[in-house]
Structure 1
Amino acid sequence: MSRLCGGIFTSHVPGIGGAIAKGLQQDPYWKPFFDGFDPVHKWLAAEKPDVAVVFYNDHGLNFFLDKMPTFAIGAAPEYRHEDEGWGIAFERPYPGSPDLSWHIIGQVVESEFDPVMCQSMLVDHAVAVPFELCWPGDAPFTTKLVPIAINTVQHPLPSPKRCFELGKAVGRAIESFDSDEKVVVFGTGGLSHQLEGERAGHINVDYDKFCLRNLAPDPEALLQHDTLDIVELAGSQGVEILNWIAARGAMRGSVRELSSNYHVPISNTAAATVLLENRTTVSA
């Protein structure tokens, strides 16, 4: 069976892509954030995961307000990044893992979720920025992608508990997939930020640190707030923590934090990067 070896949780701010494109990784404004990826790079080099299952939110590239699925799972042989107007040229295609995608889809439907199944799908900065952060350079990606989009835009949004349960279903699917591949899960987005309205620029350091403190040892602590509570606490875009909650739900083994980095602000966002190891798996 395949093995879920760990989880990477990180911000996907478009400005990060701009910093990469301009070579600003050592700039004083950006360096504290990019330094958080040193342990991630070392871990990826050692583990060499075959597939990344990425929980993220689409920003109007595949889905818009007139058609917004609560959950969507990609089942394409390849994914490409499309610039949504931010001027970020991520040209390397992302190879897909259709067999694992369809296995996950089948398993989550058996768990009474109803995802949109996407045999053709583009990805935006919510996938592209984390991939570029984790595997910098120009070499083709060797880690395959299974993208899982969660609605964090159009209300009503899924509850934290619902996202956590989705993650658990995905974790069971990964563990039951007939393959010797190693899988890493990603939760992308956040942390606290709001880009519009009277609260534009809102950052809640206390809530962010609450999430970081509990992500590994007690993820269910993050379920005590409903979705509207999170919007109030973390901002209208801070609700992207739902992606982190889903990814953490997929990690059903003995979870240990290997590194954690928090930096405020980049592009009016509280940015963070967390690396978790999934040391053993558990039975269904």
Structure 2
Amino acid sequence: MARISAGIATSHVPAVGAAIDMGRTDEDYWKPMFDGYEFSKQWMRENTPDVAIIVYNDHASYFGMEIMPTFAMGIADSFAICDEGYGPRPVPVVEGAPELATHLAASLILDDFDMTVLNVLEVDHGLTVPMSLMFGTPDKWPTKVIPLPVNVVMYPQPSGERCLSIGKAIRRAVEQFDGDLDVQVWGTGGMSHQIQGARAGLINLPWDKQFMDDLINEPEVLQYKPHLEYMVEAGSEGVELIMWLIMRGALGEHVDEVYRFNHVPASNTSVGHLILTPKEHS
């Protein structure tokens, strides 16, 4: 059967993608952050999955005010790179995993999650920046991808409880797939940051670190954290962290922490990164 072997959590700052694309990763400002992902790139070379389910939010790049699904899943053969206003990032097209994705979408819908099924989708930095951080700059991505966009842009966003629950449902669905696949689930976005208003540039590193501790050890407590707390403590964009709960839910009750990294600043964001494995895969 298919199995979930690891979970990845990482911020997905657009400026990080620009630094990679413009060859600025060795600059004094950026080097400490990128150095923090060197372990992860080496680990990923040794633990490349067949499929990565990447949970991310579209930043009104492909979706917009007209259509913003709460939970969606891309089931196409491939996904083009979205033009976010300055041209598509110069990264490879993302190859899909339609057979597994179709199985997952059907399973989740029959599990009472109202998924929007996407036969066509262009992916933005929310998905491609994590791939660049974990895989570098290959000519072709070494894994197939199932994009799972989540609405954390427009009110109302899904609850933490709903996000943790869909992660658990993803785990069940993967294990029911008739195929020998190594699958990872990635939760992206965050950590504390705000990009507009009087609190633009807000960083709350102690809160971020506590969130990571709780994500590993007490995810059932995090599911009840209200959206208002994310806004007050982690800024208006901090609610992206509910997507990490989807990843955590997919890993089972207990996990091992393989790697942790925090860095401030990266543009206006507190960067956080985790590699976790289910206890049975330790």
- Does the 8 A contact of 1:108 with 1:169 survive in 2? yes
**What is the 5 A alignment of 1:145-224?**
145-224=145-224
| Equivalent-residue separation in structure 2 for 1:203 and 1:223 (angstroms) | 22
- TM-score with structure 1 length normalisation? 0.94
CA shift, 1:242, in A, is 1.1
- Name segments (4+ residues, structure 1) moved above 4 Å: none
- Does the 8 A contact of 2:265 with 2:271 survive in 1? yes
What SS is found at the alignment partner of 2:216?
coil
**What is the 5 A alignment of 1:31-70?**
31-70=31-70
- Does the 8 A contact of 2:254 with 2:278 survive in 1? yes
| Equivalent-residue separation in structure 2 for 1:121 and 1:180 (angstroms) | 26
- Worse overlay, 191-200 or 23-32: 23-32
Residue 11 (1) aligns with residue 11 (2): yes
| Equivalent-residue separation in structure 1 for 2:88 and 2:34 (angstroms) | 18
What SS is found at the alignment partner of 1:185?
strand
What SS is found at the alignment partner of 1:224?
coil
Q: Who is 1:134 aligned against?
A: 134
Q: Who is 2:74 aligned against?
A: 74
- Does the 8 A contact of 1:33 with 1:261 survive in 2? no
- Does the 8 A contact of 1:14 with 1:86 survive in 2? no
RMSD between aligned alpha carbons? 1.5
Residue 267 (1) aligns with residue 267 (2): yes
Residue 29 (1) aligns with residue 35 (2): no
Q: Who is 1:227 aligned against?
A: 227
| Equivalent-residue separation in structure 1 for 2:119 and 2:234 (angstroms) | 33
CA shift, 1:217, in A, is 2.0
Q: Who is 2:122 aligned against?
A: 122
CA shift, 1:127, in A, is 0.5
CA shift, 1:223, in A, is 2.0
- Does the 8 A contact of 1:95 with 1:142 survive in 2? no
What SS is found at the alignment partner of 1:186?
strand
Go from structure 1 to structure 2 and tell me whether the alpha carbon gap of 1:260 and 1:86 turns closer, same or farther (over 3 Å shift). Answer: farther
* Letter of the 1:158 counterpart: P
- Does the 8 A contact of 1:260 with 1:275 survive in 2? yes
- Does the 8 A contact of 1:61 with 1:124 survive in 2? yes
- Worse overlay, 133-142 or 67-76: 133-142
Where in structure 2 are there 5+ consecutive unaligned residues?
none
Where in structure 1 are there 5+ consecutive unaligned residues?
none
- Does the 8 A contact of 2:9 with 2:186 survive in 1? yes
CA shift, 1:86, in A, is 4.4
State the identity as a percent: 40
Cα shift readout 1:8-62 (whole Å, capped 9, x = no counterpart): 1111111001111222222222122212212212221222211000011011122
What SS is found at the alignment partner of 2:37?
helix
